Amino acid sequence: KAGVTQTPRYLIKTRGQQVTLSCSPISGHRSVSWYQQTPGQGLQFLFEYFSETQRNKGNFPGRFSGRQFSNSRSEMNVSTLELGDSALYLCASSLNSGSGNTIYFGEGSWLTVV
């Protein structure tokens, strides 16, 4: 069974640009969530999608957005990139939404903003 797949794995963007990251969850998983990992702030929750609806949102500005498709695939978008957006962006999936559902992480997309 394939794990959580994220593309692209590495990318470099310029300040002010926008970026879209993609995530394919484990087959059968309907919940997809996104996390940002930085050395300074650690692992922080961005948002969760379940059945194409955003269930929760973390404390990030509106420049961070996401969506989920009918096949449970998800994308996140960051507009007007800032240097501080440089981070590892992790996608995670679980069978269902709700506390206690095991969350599996992908290997992440490394974003560098220059």
Footprint of other proteins (CB under 8 A): 4, 31, 33, 35, 42-45, 48, 50, 55-56, 58, 90, 92, 94, 96-108
Sequence-distant (≥ 6) Cβ neighbours of residue 98 within 8 angstroms: none
Gyration radius from the chain CA atoms: 13
Q: How far is the CB of 16 from other proteins (least distance, A)?
A: 28
Q: How far is the CB of 17 from other proteins (least distance, A)?
A: 25
Q: How far is the CB of 14 from other proteins (least distance, A)?
A: 24
Sequence-distant (≥ 6) Cβ neighbours of residue 69 within 8 angstroms: 52, 75
